[in-house]
Amino acid sequence: MSRQAPWPFARWQRGLTMEALSGTFNMIHPDPAERAEGLRRLRVLLDACGALCAPVVTLCTGTRDAHHMWRRHPDNDTPGAWTDLVASMREAVRGAEEAGVTLACEPEVANVVDSAQKARRLLDEIGSLLLKVVMDGANIFHSGELPRMRAMLEEAFALLGPDIALAHAKDLDHDGEAGHLPAGRGVLEYPLYLALLQRSGFTGALVLHGLAEEDVTSCLAFVRAVATL
C-alpha cells in the first residue's frame, strides 16, 4: 500500500461512528417458523437504523444445523437450502429498501454461502443495490485450501471487490471453521489482504474482531503497520 493512501486510517480520527449493526439470524434454519421470526426481528432492527445513524446491517446466510448457526451441515449444499436462502434474502432486502439500509452478508465456510463464488451468485440472483458483502479473509478457506491462499484471495476480490460494504480484520491458524484469532497472530497474508481491499476501491470500515480487550493495542498497531508497507 502507498504511504499516501487515505484508507482506512484517516477515518479513525473522526470520533465514534456506528458503521454497522448485526442483524444475524439463521436464514436457512430448517424450521420455517424460526426463519420467519428472524425476519420479523430484522425488520425491527432495520427500522431503528435511521435513529442510530447505522448505514449497514450484517447478515449470516445460515446453515441447516438447527442448533448451531455457525456449524456446517451437509444439507447446506442442497437446492432446497439455496431456495430458502433466496426467499429469506428477498424478504430481508424488501425491508432494507423500505428502511434505506444496506445489507451485507459474509461468505463463511460453515454457511450456505461458503465461498466468494456463491456470494457472487447470490448478489446476482437478488439483484439489489442494497445487498452487499462483508469481506473476511479468514473465513473463506475450506479444509485443504490454505496452500491456495493467494489465488483464493485474489479471486474473492475479483468477484466481490465492488460490492464490499464492510471488512473484517482477524486471523486463522488452520483452514475450515477457523477464523477466530486476533489479526497478526495467524497465517493470513495481511499485506496481500489489505492491498486487495485498497485496490478494490473499498473505503469503508475495517473492523477488528476475534480479540480480547488486551489485544486491541497490538492488533491495531499490526494492521496500521501492514497498511503502510
Query: Domain with 92 in it: what CATH number?
Result: 3.20.20.150
pLDDT in tens, 68-89: 988 999 999 999 999 999 999 9
Is there a domain that residue 2 lies in?
no
CA-to-CA separations, 28 to 121, 132, 149, 160, 220, in angstroms, rounded: 16, 18, 28, 22, 35
pTM to 2 decimals? 0.90
Is there a domain that residue 4 lies in?
no
Residues comprising the chain, all counted: 229
Collapsed DSSP state (helix, strand, coil) of residue 208:
strand
And the C-alpha cell for 154?
485474489
Output the 3-class SS for 15-68.
CCCCCCEECCCCCCCCCHHHHHHHHHHHHHHHHHHHHHCCCEEEECCCCCCCCC
Distance CA 36, CA 194 (A): 37
Q: How many domains does the chain have?
A: 1
Is there a domain that residue 173 lies in?
yes
Is there a domain that residue 3 lies in?
no
Give the number of other Cβ atoms within 10 Å of residue 133's Cβ. 28
List the one residue out of 108, 124, 190 whose CA is nearest residue 159.
124
Q: Which domain holds residue 151?
A: 9-227
pLDDT in tens, 113-143: 999 999 999 999 999 999 999 999 999 999 9
pLDDT in tens, 198-213: 999 999 999 998 899 9
Is there a domain that residue 1 lies in?
no
Is there a domain that residue 161 lies in?
yes
Is there a domain that residue 38 lies in?
yes
Is there a domain that residue 204 lies in?
yes
